Amino acid sequence: MKYTDIDFKHKTVLITGGAGFIGSNLAFYFQNNYPKCKIIVLDKFRNEETFSNGNLMSFGHYKNLLGFNGVVISGDINDKVVLKSLEEDYQFDYIFHQAAISDTTVKEQDLMIQTNVNAYEDLLKIAIKHKANMIYASSAATYGDAPSPQTVGCENPGNVYGFSKLMMDNITRKYLKQDLDISIVGLRYFNVYGAREFYKNKTASTVVQFGHQILAGNTPKLFEGSDKILRDFIYIEDVIQANIKACSPKKSGIYNVGTGKARSFQDIADILQKELGTDYGTEYIPNPFIGQYQFHTEANIEETKQYIGYIPNYEMEDGIKAYIPEIKRLYELEVKNA
């Protein structure tokens, strides 16, 4: 499905973090809808390196790009040589900047700021030089424990990840004060789920994690009071829609990308069991994160609708139903005999 009247034929598109969750979905959106579009994927593909928390430094995985026919570059956005080659070897029309350290539990503040903040400004300078519209991933983590509905301008980040994304948005605001020939749009993603997230490992959504628990014949485990823990869960197709519509905004700026409707973790477990034809009930466990845990997120998307033209198409029931075949496929191939 095409989300814009823009013809990307013969355009050159850079997708950083293109072997990750959202980046790879963007790559296939362009490949499937605009076969004559030149797509450049840059990703720091995973190796065995981990942060101090034990999680992988990169979630980029080749399996997210199986079937992709564009250009694939393995490189780190912190590497000035890599950035220089991108600047000199290509002429970009659009840059979708998805690369980041997205693990909210990472303690390495220096690397977080370097990767998420400083490298973004370096890429933004390339976008300006190339006159390429910039669309980048901000985050609902910028809001921290701000009350719902979360609204741009009411930020209170509770970790260095949220802080780094807010600093990206501040850079955007600084550049938008200039008379630029490009648009710059930051998209604050709320809780995204859908195809190609599996290789985020423990940081993948509870949708796929609960789905695999149920397929294994286990009762889904939820924190106590999960019927009252609400999040704005958004299906990947709506995130792709927002990115594509952000290529030609009525106004540059920072916008929320969610459904505008908070749903519970209990809803996820119940919808999955209905779709998978099971009735295992729910096992409740103590919540160890009380005091450092958001109990309600809900995106204010009025400005996103007004200036981007974004309208969410997927209720949670629709998104999970569409996701079920992929959850089953992953279970058979990646989980069952692991």
Q: Give the active site residues.
A: 161, 200
The overall longest dimension of the chain from CA atoms, in Å, is 59
Angle at 114 between CA 109 and CA 117, to 5 degrees: 100
**Residue 144: C-alpha distances to residues 41, 88, 114, 221, 295 (Å):** 31, 39, 21, 25, 11
Q: Count each helix (H run) and each strand (E run) in the chain, helices first.
A: 10, 13
Q: Strand pairing partners for 255?
A: 187
Pairing mode, strands 191-193 and 233-235: parallel
Q: Measured between alpha carbons, how far is 104 from 307 in angstroms, rounded to an integer?
A: 29
Number of CB atoms found within 10 A of residue 180's CB: 15
Q: Measured between alpha carbons, how far is 260 from 205 in angstroms, rounded to an integer?
A: 18
Tell me if 223 sits within 8 A of 285, measured CB to CB.
yes
Tell me if 24 sits within 8 A of 16, measured CB to CB.
no
Alpha helices in the chain, H assignment, sequence order = 21-33, 80-89, 109-113, 119-130, 160-176, 206-215, 236-245, 265-276, 302-308, 316-330
